[in-house]
Structure 1
Amino acid sequence: MLHQKKVLIFLSLFFILFFGCINENDLTLEQRSYQLSKQIMCPICDAQTLDQSQSQLAKDMKITILNQLSEGKTNEQIRDFFVNRYGEEVLAYPPQKGLNIFLWIIPTTIFVTGVLIILNTYKNIKKRK
Protein backbone atom coordinates (compact mmCIF):
# COMPACT_ATOMS: atom_id res chain seq x y z
CA MET A 1 0.00 0.00 0.00
CA LEU A 2 2.85 2.36 0.83
CA HIS A 3 4.45 1.63 -2.55
CA GLN A 4 1.18 2.49 -4.32
CA LYS A 5 1.00 5.82 -2.50
CA LYS A 6 4.55 6.62 -3.60
CA VAL A 7 3.69 5.79 -7.20
CA LEU A 8 0.53 7.90 -7.04
CA ILE A 9 2.45 10.84 -5.58
CA PHE A 10 5.14 10.47 -8.24
CA LEU A 11 2.58 10.39 -11.07
CA SER A 12 0.75 13.40 -9.64
CA LEU A 13 3.96 15.41 -9.39
CA PHE A 14 4.97 14.33 -12.89
CA PHE A 15 1.70 15.56 -14.41
CA ILE A 16 1.81 18.83 -12.47
CA LEU A 17 5.38 19.54 -13.53
CA PHE A 18 4.92 18.35 -17.11
CA PHE A 19 1.77 20.33 -17.86
CA GLY A 20 2.57 23.38 -15.77
CA CYS A 21 6.13 24.13 -16.86
CA ILE A 22 5.60 25.94 -20.17
CA ASN A 23 5.01 29.68 -19.97
CA GLU A 24 3.84 31.20 -23.25
CA ASN A 25 5.82 34.39 -22.52
CA ASP A 26 9.08 32.41 -22.65
CA LEU A 27 8.52 31.34 -26.26
CA THR A 28 9.35 33.29 -29.42
CA LEU A 29 6.53 34.44 -31.70
CA GLU A 30 7.35 31.68 -34.18
CA GLN A 31 7.27 29.03 -31.44
CA ARG A 32 3.95 30.34 -30.12
CA SER A 33 2.59 30.45 -33.67
CA TYR A 34 3.62 26.84 -34.25
CA GLN A 35 2.16 25.84 -30.87
CA LEU A 36 -1.16 27.47 -31.75
CA SER A 37 -1.19 25.95 -35.24
CA LYS A 38 -1.09 22.51 -33.57
CA GLN A 39 -4.11 23.42 -31.42
CA ILE A 40 -6.38 24.73 -34.18
CA MET A 41 -7.99 22.54 -36.83
CA CYS A 42 -8.20 23.45 -40.49
CA PRO A 43 -11.95 24.04 -41.11
CA ILE A 44 -11.89 22.58 -44.65
CA CYS A 45 -9.50 19.66 -44.10
CA ASP A 46 -10.40 16.27 -42.69
CA ALA A 47 -8.84 15.82 -39.24
CA GLN A 48 -5.84 18.06 -39.88
CA THR A 49 -4.49 20.80 -37.68
CA LEU A 50 -3.10 23.95 -39.25
CA ASP A 51 0.48 22.73 -38.90
CA GLN A 52 -0.39 19.57 -40.89
CA SER A 53 -2.51 21.17 -43.60
CA GLN A 54 -1.16 22.60 -46.85
CA SER A 55 -4.44 24.25 -47.90
CA GLN A 56 -4.53 27.95 -48.71
CA LEU A 57 -6.99 28.57 -45.87
CA ALA A 58 -4.62 26.95 -43.37
CA LYS A 59 -1.75 29.08 -44.67
CA ASP A 60 -3.90 32.21 -44.30
CA MET A 61 -4.91 31.20 -40.78
CA LYS A 62 -1.24 30.69 -39.82
CA ILE A 63 -0.46 34.19 -41.12
CA THR A 64 -3.38 35.53 -39.08
CA ILE A 65 -1.99 33.82 -35.98
CA LEU A 66 1.45 35.35 -36.52
CA ASN A 67 -0.04 38.80 -37.15
CA GLN A 68 -2.15 38.65 -33.99
CA LEU A 69 0.84 37.49 -31.96
CA SER A 70 2.81 40.45 -33.34
CA GLU A 71 -0.01 42.71 -32.14
CA GLY A 72 0.54 41.36 -28.62
CA LYS A 73 -2.52 39.14 -28.33
CA THR A 74 -2.42 36.14 -26.01
CA ASN A 75 -2.84 32.53 -27.12
CA GLU A 76 -6.28 32.48 -25.50
CA GLN A 77 -7.40 35.61 -27.39
CA ILE A 78 -6.28 34.08 -30.68
CA ARG A 79 -8.06 30.78 -29.95
CA ASP A 80 -11.20 32.76 -29.05
CA PHE A 81 -10.92 34.67 -32.35
CA PHE A 82 -10.98 31.42 -34.34
CA VAL A 83 -13.73 29.90 -32.16
CA ASN A 84 -15.91 32.98 -32.77
CA ARG A 85 -15.24 32.71 -36.48
CA TYR A 86 -15.49 28.93 -37.05
CA GLY A 87 -17.08 27.50 -33.89
CA GLU A 88 -15.65 25.24 -31.17
CA GLU A 89 -15.04 22.49 -33.74
CA VAL A 90 -11.94 24.41 -34.84
CA LEU A 91 -10.19 23.50 -31.57
CA ALA A 92 -8.05 20.37 -31.77
CA TYR A 93 -8.55 19.78 -28.04
CA PRO A 94 -11.87 20.27 -26.25
CA PRO A 95 -11.88 23.17 -23.77
CA GLN A 96 -11.21 22.16 -20.17
CA LYS A 97 -14.51 23.41 -18.78
CA GLY A 98 -18.08 22.24 -18.29
CA LEU A 99 -18.80 18.64 -19.25
CA ASN A 100 -15.66 18.56 -21.39
CA ILE A 101 -13.59 18.37 -18.20
CA PHE A 102 -14.54 14.69 -18.06
CA LEU A 103 -12.82 14.16 -21.42
CA TRP A 104 -9.61 15.25 -19.70
CA ILE A 105 -10.11 13.54 -16.34
CA ILE A 106 -11.33 10.11 -17.47
CA PRO A 107 -8.26 9.08 -19.57
CA THR A 108 -5.89 10.18 -16.80
CA THR A 109 -7.93 8.30 -14.21
CA ILE A 110 -7.97 5.17 -16.37
CA PHE A 111 -4.20 5.43 -16.90
CA VAL A 112 -3.43 5.85 -13.19
CA THR A 113 -5.84 3.05 -12.26
CA GLY A 114 -4.22 0.77 -14.86
CA VAL A 115 -0.74 1.51 -13.51
CA LEU A 116 -1.91 0.78 -9.96
CA ILE A 117 -3.54 -2.50 -11.03
CA ILE A 118 -0.39 -3.58 -12.86
CA LEU A 119 1.77 -2.71 -9.85
CA ASN A 120 -0.58 -4.53 -7.48
CA THR A 121 -0.64 -7.61 -9.74
CA TYR A 122 3.15 -7.57 -10.00
CA LYS A 123 3.41 -7.26 -6.22
CA ASN A 124 1.05 -10.22 -5.69
CA ILE A 125 2.94 -12.39 -8.19
CA LYS A 126 6.20 -11.51 -6.50
CA LYS A 127 4.76 -12.50 -3.07
CA ARG A 128 3.65 -15.92 -4.37
CA LYS A 129 7.18 -16.83 -5.47
Structure 2
Amino acid sequence: MTESKDTAAIPAAISGIDVMRGVGAVRAKGFWADAWERVLKRPGAIFGICWIGVIAFFAVFGPIVANAHPLTLVRVGAGGTAVREWPLLANLTPTDWALLIGCFVGLPWIFVGPRSLTRAQRLGIFVVAA
Protein backbone atom coordinates (compact mmCIF):
# COMPACT_ATOMS: atom_id res chain seq x y z
CA MET A 1 0.00 0.00 0.00
CA THR A 2 1.45 3.35 -1.02
CA GLU A 3 0.55 6.75 0.27
CA SER A 4 0.32 9.72 -2.04
CA LYS A 5 2.47 12.70 -1.19
CA ASP A 6 -0.56 14.99 -0.86
CA THR A 7 -2.15 13.04 2.01
CA ALA A 8 1.18 12.54 3.76
CA ALA A 9 1.84 16.30 3.88
CA ILE A 10 -1.46 17.25 5.55
CA PRO A 11 -2.75 14.95 8.30
CA ALA A 12 -6.43 13.99 8.39
CA ALA A 13 -6.93 15.60 11.81
CA ILE A 14 -4.96 18.49 13.23
CA SER A 15 -4.80 19.97 16.68
CA GLY A 16 -5.77 23.48 17.72
CA ILE A 17 -2.12 24.48 17.92
CA ASP A 18 -1.59 23.40 14.31
CA VAL A 19 -4.63 25.43 13.28
CA MET A 20 -3.17 28.51 14.96
CA ARG A 21 0.12 27.91 13.13
CA GLY A 22 -1.74 27.84 9.82
CA VAL A 23 -1.24 24.17 8.98
CA GLY A 24 -3.53 23.26 6.10
CA ALA A 25 -4.55 26.86 5.44
CA VAL A 26 -4.68 28.07 1.87
CA ARG A 27 -2.79 31.29 1.19
CA ALA A 28 -5.17 34.17 0.47
CA LYS A 29 -5.09 35.98 -2.87
CA GLY A 30 -3.78 39.50 -3.00
CA PHE A 31 -6.11 42.44 -3.49
CA TRP A 32 -5.20 43.10 -7.12
CA ALA A 33 -5.20 39.41 -8.06
CA ASP A 34 -8.71 39.08 -6.67
CA ALA A 35 -9.84 42.30 -8.36
CA TRP A 36 -8.50 41.26 -11.78
CA GLU A 37 -10.10 37.83 -11.43
CA ARG A 38 -13.47 39.47 -10.81
CA VAL A 39 -13.03 41.94 -13.67
CA LEU A 40 -12.07 39.26 -16.18
CA LYS A 41 -15.21 37.27 -15.36
CA ARG A 42 -17.46 40.13 -16.53
CA PRO A 43 -17.98 40.53 -20.30
CA GLY A 44 -18.95 44.19 -19.94
CA ALA A 45 -15.70 44.97 -18.15
CA ILE A 46 -13.66 43.18 -20.81
CA PHE A 47 -15.50 45.15 -23.51
CA GLY A 48 -14.73 48.38 -21.62
CA ILE A 49 -11.03 47.53 -21.36
CA CYS A 50 -10.91 46.75 -25.10
CA TRP A 51 -12.71 50.02 -25.89
CA ILE A 52 -10.22 52.01 -23.81
CA GLY A 53 -7.43 50.23 -25.71
CA VAL A 54 -8.94 51.25 -29.06
CA ILE A 55 -9.27 54.88 -27.92
CA ALA A 56 -5.68 54.86 -26.62
CA PHE A 57 -4.43 53.41 -29.92
CA PHE A 58 -6.08 56.16 -31.96
CA ALA A 59 -4.93 58.81 -29.48
CA VAL A 60 -1.32 57.76 -30.08
CA PHE A 61 -1.45 57.12 -33.81
CA GLY A 62 -4.10 59.68 -34.83
CA PRO A 63 -1.66 62.60 -35.19
CA ILE A 64 0.57 60.45 -37.38
CA VAL A 65 -2.14 59.07 -39.63
CA ALA A 66 -4.13 62.28 -40.17
CA ASN A 67 -1.64 65.13 -40.10
CA ALA A 68 -1.98 66.04 -43.85
CA HIS A 69 1.74 65.52 -44.54
CA PRO A 70 2.89 62.79 -46.91
CA LEU A 71 5.11 60.03 -45.58
CA THR A 72 7.75 60.65 -48.21
CA LEU A 73 8.19 63.24 -50.95
CA VAL A 74 10.57 63.17 -53.91
CA ARG A 75 11.47 66.58 -55.35
CA VAL A 76 13.20 66.87 -58.67
CA GLY A 77 15.70 69.70 -58.78
CA ALA A 78 16.62 71.92 -61.74
CA GLY A 79 19.49 69.64 -62.74
CA GLY A 80 17.23 66.57 -62.73
CA THR A 81 18.47 65.28 -59.39
CA ALA A 82 15.91 63.70 -57.12
CA VAL A 83 15.88 64.61 -53.44
CA ARG A 84 13.84 62.49 -51.04
CA GLU A 85 12.28 64.27 -48.08
CA TRP A 86 10.28 62.99 -45.11
CA PRO A 87 7.70 65.70 -44.30
CA LEU A 88 5.76 63.46 -41.92
CA LEU A 89 8.76 63.00 -39.61
CA ALA A 90 9.85 66.62 -39.98
CA ASN A 91 6.47 67.93 -38.81
CA LEU A 92 5.88 65.74 -35.77
CA THR A 93 5.68 67.70 -32.54
CA PRO A 94 7.63 66.74 -29.40
CA THR A 95 4.37 65.41 -27.95
CA ASP A 96 3.97 63.08 -30.95
CA TRP A 97 7.54 61.82 -30.49
CA ALA A 98 6.98 61.27 -26.77
CA LEU A 99 3.82 59.26 -27.47
CA LEU A 100 5.58 57.14 -30.09
CA ILE A 101 8.57 56.45 -27.88
CA GLY A 102 6.31 55.67 -24.95
CA CYS A 103 4.26 53.29 -27.07
CA PHE A 104 7.12 51.40 -28.70
CA VAL A 105 9.62 51.45 -25.82
CA GLY A 106 7.70 52.01 -22.61
CA LEU A 107 4.84 49.54 -22.97
CA PRO A 108 7.03 46.55 -23.87
CA TRP A 109 9.32 47.49 -20.96
CA ILE A 110 6.36 47.35 -18.58
CA PHE A 111 5.27 43.89 -19.71
CA VAL A 112 8.64 42.17 -20.33
CA GLY A 113 11.08 44.40 -18.47
CA PRO A 114 13.57 43.34 -15.82
CA ARG A 115 12.19 40.60 -13.59
CA SER A 116 13.91 42.06 -10.53
CA LEU A 117 11.08 44.63 -10.45
CA THR A 118 7.41 43.81 -10.23
CA ARG A 119 5.06 44.96 -13.00
CA ALA A 120 3.60 47.56 -10.65
CA GLN A 121 7.07 48.99 -9.95
CA ARG A 122 7.88 49.12 -13.69
CA LEU A 123 4.55 50.87 -14.34
CA GLY A 124 5.31 53.37 -11.57
CA ILE A 125 8.73 54.14 -13.04
CA PHE A 126 7.13 54.59 -16.48
CA VAL A 127 4.52 57.01 -15.10
CA VAL A 128 7.14 59.03 -13.21
CA ALA A 129 9.37 59.15 -16.31
CA ALA A 130 6.48 60.41 -18.41
- State the TM-score, normalized to the length of structure 1: 0.26
- State the TM-score, normalized to the length of structure 2: 0.26
In terms of Rg, which structure is larger? Answer: 2
When you count helix as a share of all residues, which structure comes out higher?
1
When you count strand as a share of all residues, which structure comes out higher?
2
Of structures 1 and 2, the one with the larger relative CO (CA 8 A, separation 6+) is 1
